[in-house]
Chains A and B, each alone.
Chain A
């Protein structure tokens, strides 16, 4: 072995000062070797690589004993040692689920293929050829420690984002009504409602709500912001705030939508907007009064069995401050139903089914369902949709609301 008592090779030395070097200083390396001389040499190289916390073991048995007390971030083990060599020690470590990612480097004197294969088969991360070259040893130790630190960093980042998204998702779910609220509005009015609210990822840009409008009437709002994901979800919170201070009660839907649009236009960045449907279902006057802002055409079932598309056209919310939205009306006799939905239902395509359903297709599906008159028509509709296209997660947020009387 050459004399390595002097200085580290310049090009392989630690570049001091970086964030990673700081972390390397806190990294822990366990050196397992039966030769005192080798332990000292390796410790020197590892030290040159920037590591300050180094522990030693004389063989595999002692190495295993020190794993839990020292908690190394990297293990350097010799191939051949009395009692237990590096290969057997590696095998034993890899049986532990918490040691799967631990970098283990084995030094092999006889650099034969057989030995290499034995090392990697046992689960070694890398091998170091003996006699150990200082530059190579430092580079490999740094490489594997850096990799481990980056993986840990990413894991931590991922865990944080996941927990934040979970919290945010719960917050978004609290914006849309739960079964209890829905029941409280529909039951006294003799209306039934079935609904699905399915963001395409943790959060989405869809929003819906139901309100008591009068003793005999209720209102349903269905809004779909452009895009999906977190950005679109933030817009649903903006909308929620605006709706909170713009009560629908006592107003006509068009007038209300006009005011909501004006407020949204002030807060939405250019290129972001929403489609909307707002309908007031009155069981005393048997009338649906509604307004639309470019929402996909609601599908309406008449008591005579016919199914038609309603006109919910209109400029998107958030495009122009001057837009006014007209009221539209349609009879809402007993035996009628209305389906309002987000565009995912008519625009979803898959590789195996590149033809989207589109409004006409949806209308024809609902005609079929109407004829079959199942107990839960929306369930039948969505089952057919999921079978024809795909099950969630879809590529866009999906909301579907089926109001029947």
Chain B
């Protein structure tokens, strides 16, 4: 998995690409570090357009991000998922606990 960060005053966008799996735990930690200095009401967007594949461990990382965002009163959005990524988000019913945008 690779990622890029785009920041504005109100929004932090994390553009994920490649495959997000069990082996990316360490790297995802550095993504999570973005939540370390939260601004109340800040919006976090995981842009998944470049993501080809997510396994259940990858979904676990979104759950950890969600937990952190909730504790910091931040809004978290999963955006642009397609193909397998979209499918696994549907199977895991992530729409019921995340804001999912096309």
Residue in A227, A295, A319 whose beta carbon sits within 8 Å of that of B22 in the complex: A227
Residue in B53, B61, B93, B96 whose beta carbon sits within 8 Å of that of A356 in the complex: B53
Main SS class of interface, A: loop
Residue in B55, B61, B92, B93 whose beta carbon sits within 8 Å of that of A271 in the complex: B61
Shortest beta-carbon distance from B75 to chain A in Å = 18
Count chain A residues whose beta carbon lies closer than 8 angstroms to a beta carbon of B. Answer: 26
Is the beta-carbon distance between A313 and B56 smaller than 8 angstroms?
Answer: no
Distance, CA A396 to CA B58, complexed state (A)? 14
Is the beta-carbon distance between B57 and A315 smaller than 8 angstroms?
Answer: no
Is the beta-carbon distance between A296 and B91 smaller than 8 angstroms?
Answer: yes
Which residues 53-98 of B sit at the A interface, judged by CB distance below 8 A? 53, 55-57, 59-61, 63-64, 67, 84, 87, 90-94, 96-97
Distance, CA A347 to CA B20, complexed state (A)? 12
Is the beta-carbon distance between B55 and A270 smaller than 8 angstroms?
Answer: no
Residue in B22, B56, B67 whose beta carbon sits within 8 Å of that of A275 in the complex: B56
Residue in A224, A273, A313, A316 whose beta carbon sits within 8 Å of that of B90 in the complex: A313
Contacts of A347 in B (CB 8 A): 53, 55
Is the beta-carbon distance between B60 and A315 smaller than 8 angstroms?
Answer: no
Q: Is A136 in contact with chain B by the CB < 8 A criterion? A: no
Contacts of B94 in A (CB 8 A): 315
Q: Is A272 in contact with chain B by the CB < 8 A criterion? A: yes
Main SS class of interface, B: helix
Distance, CA A359 to CA B91, complexed state (A)? 11
Q: Is A266 in contact with chain B by the CB < 8 A criterion? A: no
Q: Is A294 in contact with chain B by the CB < 8 A criterion? A: yes
Is the beta-carbon distance between B92 and A294 smaller than 8 angstroms?
Answer: yes
Is the beta-carbon distance between A320 and B64 smaller than 8 angstroms?
Answer: no
Shortest beta-carbon distance from A296 to chain B in Å = 7
Contacts of A396 in B (CB 8 A): 22, 55
Known: A273-B60, A356-B53, A358-B84. A294 touches B97 (CB 8 A): no
Is the beta-carbon distance between A294 and B61 smaller than 8 angstroms?
Answer: no
Distance, CA A216 to CA B22, complexed state (A)? 41
Residue in B56, B61, B96 whose beta carbon sits within 8 Å of that of A343 in the complex: B56
Distance, CA A15 to CA B86, complexed state (A)? 61
Which residues 202-235 of A sit at the B interface, judged by CB distance below 8 A? 224, 226-228
Find the B residue at minimum CB distance from A273: B60
Q: Is A297 in contact with chain B by the CB < 8 A criterion? A: yes
Q: Is A135 in contact with chain B by the CB < 8 A criterion? A: no
Is the beta-carbon distance between A315 and B91 smaller than 8 angstroms?
Answer: no
Q: Is A8 in contact with chain B by the CB < 8 A criterion? A: no
Distance, CA A162 to CA B56, complexed state (A)? 29
Given contacts A294-B92, A347-B53, 15 further A-B contacts (CB under 8 A): A224-B56, A227-B57, A227-B60, A270-B67, A312-B91, A313-B92, A313-B93, A315-B92, A316-B63, A316-B92, A319-B63, A319-B97, A343-B55, A347-B55, A356-B53
Closest 3 CB pairs of A and B: A294-B92, A271-B64, A313-B91
**20 pairs, A vs B, C-beta closer than 8 Å:** A226-B56, A226-B57, A227-B60, A270-B67, A271-B60, A271-B61, A272-B60, A273-B56, A273-B63, A294-B91, A294-B93, A295-B91, A315-B96, A316-B92, A319-B63, A320-B97, A343-B55, A343-B56, A356-B53, A359-B87
